[in-house]
């Protein structure tokens, strides 16, 4: 009788482990898809902004040549920084740099990640649910 219970317990543990592995795999695939979407959106944003930048720069150059005043080129400085940032994010190595910084925070600055009042407890969740139900 004991061996049947032991066997059932082992099967339950194996099923739980399989469920957890599947859940982790599913969450990772969802995360990868979300990151891919963010990267694709960044690239699309870069294309639009680069087009705007070229048109704006052409207008600034035309204004400078017409009036001989360098003031027309002043907006090109911040626009260049914005374009460079977006290019770095969309096509450069910004994502691995951000990942390394996040890993450093997780390793060395863990106290910055704590939630106010700590992790939610079953009691606090039930209390909030009951309060919402009574309102």
Q: Please give the pLDDT value at position 75.
A: 95
Helix (H, G, I), strand (E, B) or coil at 88: helix
Question: pTM here?
Answer: 0.71
120 — alpha (psi -120 to 50), left (phi > 0) or beta? beta
Q: Please give the pLDDT value at position 4.
A: 87
Q: Please give the pLDDT value at position 134.
A: 84
pLDDT < 70 positions in the chain: 1
Q: Please give the pLDDT value at position 133.
A: 86
Dihedral over Cα of 119, 125, 126, 128: its sign: positive
Q: At what angle do helices 94-108 and 76-91 cross, to 10 degrees?
A: 80
Q: Please give the pLDDT value at position 32.
A: 95
105 neighbors 99 (Cβ within 8 angstroms): no
As a whole number of angstroms, the distance between CA 79 and CA 58 comes to: 13
Q: Please give the pLDDT value at position 65.
A: 95
Q: Please give the pLDDT value at position 1.
A: 57
User: Which residue shows structure tokens 């009691």?
Assistant: 123
Indicate the helix (H) or strand (E) that contains 40.
helix 2-67
As a whole number of angstroms, the distance between CA 88 and CA 5 comes to: 59
């Amino acid at each position: 009788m004991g061996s049947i219970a032991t066997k059932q317990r082992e099967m339950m543990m194996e099923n739980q482990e399989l469920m957890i592995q599947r859940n982790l795999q599913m969450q990772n695939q969802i995360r990868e898809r979300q990151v891919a979407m963010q990267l694709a959106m960044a690239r699309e944003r870069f294309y639009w902004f680069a087009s705007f930048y070229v048109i704006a720069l052409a207008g600034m150059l035309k204004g400078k040549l017409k009036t001989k005043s360098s003031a027309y080129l002043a907006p090109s400085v911040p626009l260049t920084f914005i374009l460079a940032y977006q290019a770095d994010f969309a096509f450069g190595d910004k994502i691995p740099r951000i990942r390394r910084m996040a890993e450093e925070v997780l390793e060395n600055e863990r106290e910055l990640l704590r939630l106010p009042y700590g992790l939610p407890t079953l009691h606090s969740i039930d209390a909030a649910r009951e309060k919402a139900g009574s309102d």
